Amino acid sequence: MKKALIIFVSLCISLTVFAQTKPQAKTQPKGKSKAAPVQAKKTPKPYREKERMVEITTDFGTMVAVLYNETPKHRDNFVKLVQQGFYDSLLFHRIIKNFMIQGGDPLSKTADSTAMLGNGDVGYRIPAEFDNRIFHKKGALAAARDNNPERASSGCQFYIVQGRTYTVEELEKIINTRNLTRKQMMMYNLFQSDTVQNKLQVYQAKGDKEGQQKYMLSLQEGIEKEYNKQNPNTIDYGIIDYYMKVGGTPHLDGDYTVFGELVSGLEVLDKLASVQTGNADRPLKDIRMKIRLLN
């Protein structure tokens, strides 16, 4: 088992080299030119007319959000809960400046000031709905979740992104880290299979180091090929440009479902994100919400 662990670690190290894919955005003008970075494609708005709109009211003001048609399961679930009045009087119970504001825990409605919040839910999850055109821009409305491997969303908890702006170098590092982490997870799952374990044991029993190395290389190449198939290495410079100029939380892309965005009230978001917080990032003064459908 010790030898198998060493082989797995060596595969992880090898994949680190595979993961260092540098976005071409680094070669684009940085700051001195008035022209925006060249776009590989124009980033379309991930919503169209006639989509559902919601109004989120707090003591700090009102925010209006559109719900994307591209994420119908999340849209319909959110609409259902709003129609039921589920969110009325719940708290924004977790706020981190330059990151996000989170709410929707049903336990927060009657919680006292010392309660640890964030574990309340409605007893079901929403399957992840990812779309490469939809990203964690400032004002993005997204679903919270636990660490389930399917990345399925909480049935009720959500967050609104404040985020910050990023440099090209920071975005490059985030992309490389994300690629490496996901490849390592694919490799781990593959490594646990009986087929791989049995083959490795055969090579070890024979003392066939050369055969083992060739087999390991084939695993690496297979992971790389499958990952690239699932995640085409294309850079949308519209998204890169947005993160550089307006901001958001790019490290969450592809891990949490974004199902809407603010169309007004970003100044309210900034006010909410700046409140004083205490333990577990809970605001020192309760911030309650009320949400209603606009159409």
The per-residue pLDDT for range 34-66, each reduced to its tens digit, is 333 333 334 445 545 589 999 999 999 999 999
Which residues, at least 6 apart from 116, have a Cβ–Cβ distance to it below 8 Å?
279, 280
Six token digits for residue 71: 């994420």
- What letter represents residue 228's amino acid? N
Domain with CATH 2.40.100.10 in the chain: 53-165+246-293
Strand 92-96, strand 153-154: pairing: unpaired
Contact 237, 25 (CB under 8 A): yes
| DSSP code per residue over 178-221 | HHHHHHHHHHHHHHTSHHHHHHHHHHHHHT-HHHHHHHHHHHHH
For 52-102, write each residue's pLDDT tens digit: 999 999 999 999 999 999 999 999 999 999 999 999 999 999 999 999 999
Decide which of 3.40.50.720, 2.30.30.60, 2.40.100.10, 3.40.47.10 is the CATH code for 53-165+246-293: 2.40.100.10
For 151-210, write each residue's pLDDT tens digit: 999 999 999 999 999 999 999 999 899 888 888 888 888 888 999 899 889 999 999 999
Six token digits for residue 273: 């994100």
